[in-house]
Amino acid sequence: MSIEKTVSRPVSNWAKGDGPESDIVISSRIRLARNISGYAFPHTMSNQAADEILNAVRLAVDNDEVRQEFGPLEFVRLEELSPVERQILLEKHLISPQLLEDIKNRAVILSEDESLSIMINEEDHLRIQLFLPGLQLEEAWQKANRVDDLLEKTLDYAFCEQRGYLTACPTNVGTGLRASVMLHLPALVIAGQINNIITAISQLGLAVRGYYGEGTKAVGHLFQISNQITLGQAEEEIIRNLLTVARQIINQERSARAALYKNNKSQLEDKIFRSLGILSYSRMITTEEALTMLSDVRLGIALGILDNLTQRDINELMMLIRPAFLQKMAAREMTAQERDTERARIIRLRMEKLKK
């Protein structure tokens, strides 16, 4: 594997549309926050300490046991990547916006299939992320926990018997676990039910965030739902609670889809085919508009209204049209207008090919 292959491939394997409940659940993610004992948190430590953390983590993953279970892992310093390449990693969810705030002495470790991503020197020394397609939170937790155990054989984690894993932000103290699912909820948005659901979810101690997590909005009717409590609950309990809520939301989305199709079939079909028409013939289109139209088309596929396209086709297009990836394919920087034009061209060509 090479970083060039990663930044040249538009979509990670876990985001291609497979897995349980994949008509609604795009992916499941487990993130573990860990720090190494004896070092200050990243926002206060010296450059020398940050470099020592990078080397320690690099050595921890460079062993036969890790490679046997997770394949070859690549260590990449952010300083060695171009701005466009770093942005592609963000667009693919392999790194966070926070990791890009200061790229000095920061790195990411990636597995070949991109299901495992370990951010180094973000808010905490390590952010271990494990992604799986569809609704597979328990399976993702088992894999992430295994990575964590293997690293802990070499790394001395900052841990307190009373408080659990110590983290830079108090909201992560305890398990250091963030479990999340990314859901496609167009019917609940169209039916005007999404705000009530978000309010109810928040009252259960869960957070609803946008496509790129905290502080971002839900474009393309995509929502991330995750736990907020990390202290006082076991990892299995956190995941079990999130799974229960996720399944309830899945059922509500399916009910909303069925009701829309039964009671407003003509209007729904008109909305879906209008979006398909815009995607097929527009000459300029923004990222947000394209994602909204692709969301409508994805709903049409799930309801059987469109039978010549697949969820995988749409998932790939959703990544292919991101600003950084467009510039990577063009091998040059582009203005917003140039990206809108190129985005429309790529979508037209892909739609023409898929509909044959």
CATH architecture of 3-256: 2-Layer Sandwich (3.30)
Annotated binding-site residue? 289: no
Annotated binding-site residue? 39: no
Annotated binding-site residue? 214: yes
Residue 43: CB atoms within 10 A of its CB come to: 12
Annotated binding-site residue? 246: no
Residue 167: CB atoms within 10 A of its CB come to: 22
Annotated binding-site residue? 212: yes
pTM: 0.92
Place of tokens 């060039």: 4
Annotated binding-site residue? 324: no
Annotated binding-site residue? 86: no
Annotated binding-site residue? 210: yes
Annotated binding-site residue? 117: no
Annotated binding-site residue? 165: no
- pLDDT per residue as tens, the chain (356 positions): 579 889 988 888 888 778 999 999 999 999 999 999 999 999 999 999 999 999 999 999 988 888 888 888 999 999 999 999 999 999 999 999 999 999 999 999 999 999 999 999 999 999 999 999 999 999 999 999 999 999 999 999 999 988 899 999 998 999 999 999 999 999 999 999 999 999 999 888 899 987 655 555 678 899 999 998 888 889 999 999 999 999 999 999 999 999 999 999 999 999 999 999 999 999 999 999 999 999 999 999 999 999 888 888 898 899 899 999 999 999 999 999 999 999 999 999 988 877 66
d(CA 58, CA 22): 34
Q: Are 320 and 351 in contact (CB under 8 A)?
A: no
Annotated binding-site residue? 127: yes
Length of the chain: 356
Annotated binding-site residue? 106: no
Annotated binding-site residue? 96: no
Tally of helices (H runs) and strands (E runs) in the chain: 13, 10
Annotated binding-site residue? 338: no
d(CA 258, CA 120): 44
d(CA 153, CA 242): 29
d(CA 225, CA 230): 15
Annotated binding-site residue? 31: yes
Annotated binding-site residue? 198: no
Annotated binding-site residue? 336: no
Domain boundaries, the chain: 3-256, 265-354
